[in-house]
């Protein structure tokens, strides 16, 4: 998901880049509760019938599904923010806070699109002075094309303003 917030000049502002989350955390918790209840009912009936080992394995199953849902949610909670200022381009990335911050000088930086990415999804990167950073590596094909279009518009607006 791409959320551009640009100023009136068209070349300053920021772009928030997030992966498409399959489900919210609240919905994950609801699913885990419903799954736990159904599993408990089935295990209780089986235990009543004399199958005692069903109950612990039912609990292990619920714990395993909960951990897997948490790991998937954590994987999809990363984001990147690209700040465009008059003199620099700043890329911040992380989970809930900015774990990594990279700054490029706007006049010397260059965006590069490589169409030979994984699953034919273009690879977008920025480079300057021998340093390269990939942007939006977690995006889908459609979102990546949208991001490339937005960055092209920002770059063209900046080039027109400088001239």
**Which pTM value belongs to this model?**
0.76
Q: Could you tell me if 17 and 29 lie in one domain?
A: no
Tens-digit pLDDT profile for residues 53-71: 999 999 999 999 999 999 9
Q: Could you tell me if 49 and 123 lie in one domain?
A: no
Q: Containing domain of residue 147, as a range?
A: 2-21+79-162
When the pLDDT of each residue in the chain is averaged and rounded to a whole number, the result is 88
Q: Is the pLDDT of residue 36 over 90?
A: yes
Q: Could you tell me if 29 and 17 lie in one domain?
A: no
Q: Could you tell me if 31 and 69 lie in one domain?
A: yes
Tens-digit pLDDT profile for residues 96-152: 777 889 999 888 888 898 887 677 888 899 998 888 899 988 888 899 899 999 988
Q: Could you tell me if 115 and 41 lie in one domain?
A: no
The 3-class secondary structure across the chain, one letter per residue, is: CEEEEECCCCCCEEEEECCCCCCCHHHHHHHHHHHHHHHHHHHHHHHHCCCCCHHHHHHHHHHHHHHHHHHHHHHCCCEEEEEECCCEEEEEEECCCCCEEEEEECCCCEEEEECCCHHHCCEEEEEECCEEEEECCCCCHHHHHHHHHHHHHHHHHHHHHHC
Q: Could you tell me if 84 and 153 lie in one domain?
A: yes
Mean pLDDT within 7-30:
86
Mean pLDDT within 73-93:
89
* 2-11, 23-32, 60-69, 137-146: least confident range: 2-11
Number of domains within the chain: 2
């Amino acid at each position: 998901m791409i959320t551009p917030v640009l100023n009136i000049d068209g070349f300053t502002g920021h772009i928030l880049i997030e992966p498409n989350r399959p489900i919210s955390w609240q919905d994950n918790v609801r699913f885990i509760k419903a799954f736990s209840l159904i599993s408990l009912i089935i295990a209780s009936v089986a235990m009543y019938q004399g199958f005692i080992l069903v109950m612990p394995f039912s609990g292990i199953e619920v714990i395993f599904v909960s951990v897997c849902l948490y790991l998937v949610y954590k994987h999809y909670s990363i984001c990147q923010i690209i700040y465009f200022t008059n003199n620099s381009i700043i890329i911040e990335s992380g989970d809930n806070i900015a774990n990594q911050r990279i700054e490029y000088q706007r006049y010397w930086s260059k965006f590069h699109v490589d169409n030979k990415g994984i699953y034919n999804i273009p690879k977008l990167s920025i480079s300057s002075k021998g340093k390269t950073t990939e942007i939006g590596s977690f995006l889908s094909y459609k979102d990546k094309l949208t991001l490339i279009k937005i960055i092209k518009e920002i770059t063209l607006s900046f080039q027109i303003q400088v001239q």
